[in-house]
Structure 1
Amino acid sequence: MKSIAVIGGGITGVTTAYALALRGLDVTLFERHAHPAMETSFANGGQLSASHAEAWNSWSNVRKGLGWMLRKDAPLLVRPAPSWHKLCWFAEFLSAIPRYGDTTVSIARLAVEARRHLFAWAQAEDIDFDLRREGILHVYRDKAGFEHGGRVSALLAQGGLMRRAVTPAEMRAIEPALQGDYYGGHFTDSDSSGDIHKFTLGLARACARHGVRFLCGHEVQSVTPGVSITARTAGGEIVEYPIDAAVICAGTASRALAATLGDRVNVYPVKGYSITVGLNTFGSRGAAPTVSLVDDALKLVASRFGQDRFRVAGTAEFAGFDREIRTERIRPLVDWVQRSFPGIDVSDVTPWAGLRPMMPDMQPRAGPGMLPGVFYNTGHGHLGWTLSAATAEIVADMVAQAASMHYGERMRPSRRVA
């Protein structure tokens, strides 16, 4: 039996470890935090949203980003401080604009496939994660946004996802709690929502039952494929573990680690924010929605967890590895709740920020690297949870195939999937 190391304990790493364990491989997961799912998989928007598969690579988004650069509360904020990495990333982002349609179709197709695996795993392992299979409603305040949504729906349909246009009256029938004036919406009844942190921890426990070893508090320092992994423990000790192969699922840290292995994985940390609103009163619980929402114009998503929590997340900030939670970025999320659901008491709000690992063409990197025994599953951007089960299956198949061969044999070039 081959020894496989998975580097990273977020949603991508844990789903990868689970898929590998189901194939009978000997798996050890390395995570620098004391527990899995403590970074970007901690408090995201909570959506399993194939309907959110639209690629960001468009001239309209470029124009919006330029126009918003001086607004601290902008939905998409590019901080002007230059870096070579940022410049290279945006150059590749622009070069991918002609493939916007094909990319959107591919991501939608992958998202539809992913949820089939994820729901099967959750049922098989009896994971409770506040799942709501009540669909996702995209809302639009003007005709231009609504019509753009219709064009996106046509692309999603090519990827196997059905999304239908709805009138304001139909929107309120779908979600009676929603307040405000809207031109129309698009509703995907097959989408769902839930708590990514609870799901990841539940799947991690399932991994342990299937024999996966978790080395938390271990920050990987170097990888020698086919030989060993060197890590620094929380206590500062340098330790070494023998391995046959490694799958790098390290989120925004994947780029630096890949460079040591001769691979270029151009992941950029795109910061997103969220607030979790405690629904502590009867009135707040009654005023909060049960259907998950997307406000396309403001780049916000919203999901209800159980009876007593409401999560609003979104915005995109290009500011490197800055993890600071900025008040001017949190305030628009709170304001949106007060406008859209005025009956919710916002006195209990927990803010959070995380760094999305995003490739410039929006497509995750899933497959082998240059060196035998090195694999990647990273760069999922704003759809990490939505896509994770599919890319985990893809990479696990590749690793299982390699495990039945000699790692000295040349593997086919790494592929991107979405």
Structure 2
Amino acid sequence: MSHIMVIGAGITGITTAYELLELGYQVTILDKNLYPAMETSFANGGQLSACNAEVWNQKATVLKGIKWMTQKDAPLLLNPSFDLHKYAWLIEFMGNIKHYEANTQKTVRLALLARKRLFEIAQKENIQFDLEKRGILHFYHNQQDYDVAIRVNDLLCKGGLERHAVTNEEIHSIEPSLTGEYYGGFYCPDDATGDIHKYTTHLAQVVAHKGGKFLYGVEVEDLNLDHSTEQVSAKYRACDPKNKDIPDGFIQADAIVICGGVESYHLAKQAGDRVNVYPVKGYSITVQLNDEHSQQHAPWVSLLDESAKIVTSRLGRDRLRIAGTAEFNGYNRDIRIDRIQPLVHWVNRNFDISTEHCVPWAGLRPMMPNMMPVVRQGKHPRVFYNTGHGHLGWTLSAATAAMISLEISQKIAA
């Protein structure tokens, strides 16, 4: 039986491991954390959102980024300090503006496939993750933003998405908890939300039950990719030198799949490949709906405020997730109060609920300059990639995991 090594136990790594096991491979998953889904897959916005498949490669995005550089509470924030990786990434990002329409439609089609596959896996494996199939509602505060959104909506619908315009009255009918007045919006009835951490951890349990092996708390120190052999290997060490329960080690496999999130940039370098992933920080708060009034007045339909670039997801009876912002600030994972506070203020403006108990979080989205995931073989015939999903890892992972697993099966017998 062929042995595949998967680096990364986030949503893409765990889903990839699952699909490989379904095809008959032996799988070992390595991750630097002690548990699955502890980084970008821990507390994201929760949306399974084909309706949010628009790539960011537009001149307007660049101009807004420059305009917002001095505003600490801006939806998009760029640290101007010099970093070669960051500025090279931004130049490449601008070079992909010409692919905006094609890549947006490709992403929509991929998201629709992923949504279908994720629901199939969840049903087959009986995974409970606070799934809500109530659609996603986008709303706009002025005509200028709405007119731009009409053109975006046409592009998304060309990609196969079912999404229609709604008035202010219809917005309140779809989600009565909203307290503001809005110019208009769009509603995608088939999108959904859920708890990515619950889903990934439960799927990891399924992977273990099916025979998948896990090495937690380890960091890949070196990849040995001898082209003369049909095997690859990795040298790893404990992330915490004080943890004597995790010895340094060496693992051989017939292939490696790199699903390392923002670390994929460095792992690809070890493999002799260029995977230009850059970390783009996002923030979230999880509002604990501890009182009955808040539980009754918090939204159940998932929302996206296009002006503020903020999303919501209801996670069961007693939690509301609010997420947003994009921060270009390297690998910094600090939770900044000046980035969290706008999320709290936004909740207070739009809902009649208590924000007394909020749990803040920050994570790094692994973004490629063209906003498209990397799902391909590397230069070495035994190295593969499933990474770089950006803000759509939860949305796209089920499709890309199936795609890379199929590619491996065509080149390496199970």
Q: Smaller-chain TM-score range?
A: over 0.9
- The range that moved more, 48-57 or 222-231, is 222-231
Please state how far the C-alpha of 1:235 moved relative to its aligned partner. Answer: 5.4
Could you tell me how far apart the structure 2 residues matched to 1:235 and 1:312 are?
32
The answer on 1:12 being equivalent to 2:21 is: no
Could you tell me how far apart the structure 1 residues matched to 2:125 and 2:375 are?
25
- Asked if the contact 1:153–1:162 (Cα under 8 Å) also holds between the matched residues in 2, the reply is no
Match 1:318 to one of 305, 309, 328: 328
Could you tell me how far apart the structure 2 residues matched to 1:184 and 1:390 are?
32
The answer on 1:349 being equivalent to 2:358 is: yes
Give the root-mean-square deviation of aligned CA atoms: 1.0
The answer on 1:289 being equivalent to 2:294 is: no
- Asked if the contact 1:270–1:358 (Cα under 8 Å) also holds between the matched residues in 2, the reply is yes
The answer on 1:68 being equivalent to 2:68 is: yes
Please state how far the C-alpha of 1:305 moved relative to its aligned partner. Answer: 0.5
- The range that moved more, 234-243 or 127-136, is 234-243
Equivalent position of 1:243 in the other structure:
253
Match 2:401 to one of 366, 383, 392: 392
- Asked if the contact 1:270–1:317 (Cα under 8 Å) also holds between the matched residues in 2, the reply is yes
Equivalent position of 1:253 in the other structure:
263
Equivalent position of 2:284 in the other structure:
274
Does the residue aligned with 1:353 lie in a helix, a strand or coil?
Answer: strand
Letter in 2 for 1:231: Y
- Asked if the contact 1:69–1:77 (Cα under 8 Å) also holds between the matched residues in 2, the reply is yes
Match 2:234 to one of 229, 233, 237: 229
The answer on 1:141 being equivalent to 2:136 is: no
Equivalent position of 1:56 in the other structure:
56
Could you tell me how far apart the structure 1 residues matched to 2:110 and 2:233 are?
33
Please state how far the C-alpha of 1:234 moved relative to its aligned partner. Answer: 4.6
Letter in 2 for 1:289: P
- Asked if the contact 1:41–1:197 (Cα under 8 Å) also holds between the matched residues in 2, the reply is yes
State how 1:353-372 maps to structure 2 within 5 Å.
353-372=362-381
Letter in 2 for 1:160: G
Cα shift readout 1:105-153 (whole Å, capped 9, x = no counterpart) = 0000000000111000000000000000000000100111112221111
The answer on 1:22 being equivalent to 2:31 is: no
The answer on 1:119 being equivalent to 2:124 is: no
Letter in 1 for 2:200: T
Equivalent position of 2:228 in the other structure:
none
Does the residue aligned with 2:347 lie in a helix, a strand or coil?
Answer: helix
Could you tell me how far apart the structure 2 residues matched to 1:173 and 1:181 are?
12
- Asked if the contact 1:364–1:379 (Cα under 8 Å) also holds between the matched residues in 2, the reply is yes
How many residues matched?
Answer: 404
Could you tell me how far apart the structure 1 residues matched to 2:232 and 2:94 are?
39
TM-score (structure 1 length as normaliser): 0.95
Letter in 1 for 2:156: L
Match 1:305 to one of 286, 308, 315: 315
Cα shift readout 1:346-376 (whole Å, capped 9, x = no counterpart) = 1100000000000000000001000110000
- Asked if the contact 1:369–1:376 (Cα under 8 Å) also holds between the matched residues in 2, the reply is yes
Cα shift readout 1:189-216 (whole Å, capped 9, x = no counterpart) = 0100000000000111111121111111
- Asked if the contact 1:130–1:305 (Cα under 8 Å) also holds between the matched residues in 2, the reply is yes
Does the residue aligned with 1:69 lie in a helix, a strand or coil?
Answer: helix
Equivalent position of 1:87 in the other structure:
87
Equivalent position of 2:3 in the other structure:
3
Please state how far the C-alpha of 1:404 moved relative to its aligned partner. Answer: 2.4
The answer on 1:377 being equivalent to 2:407 is: no
Please state how far the C-alpha of 1:238 moved relative to its aligned partner. Answer: 2.0
Could you tell me how far apart the structure 1 residues matched to 2:68 and 2:335 are?
19
Could you tell me how far apart the structure 2 residues matched to 1:19 and 1:150 are?
37
Does the residue aligned with 2:267 lie in a helix, a strand or coil?
Answer: helix
Could you tell me how far apart the structure 1 residues matched to 2:347 and 2:143 are?
23
- The range that moved more, 208-217 or 49-58, is 208-217
Cα shift readout 1:225-248 (whole Å, capped 9, x = no counterpart) = 423111112553320011111000
Match 1:264 to one of 261, 265, 274: 274
Could you tell me how far apart the structure 2 residues matched to 1:29 and 1:224 are?
17
Please state how far the C-alpha of 1:104 moved relative to its aligned partner. Answer: 0.6
Could you tell me how far apart the structure 2 residues matched to 1:290 and 1:87 are?
40
- Asked if the contact 1:25–1:400 (Cα under 8 Å) also holds between the matched residues in 2, the reply is no
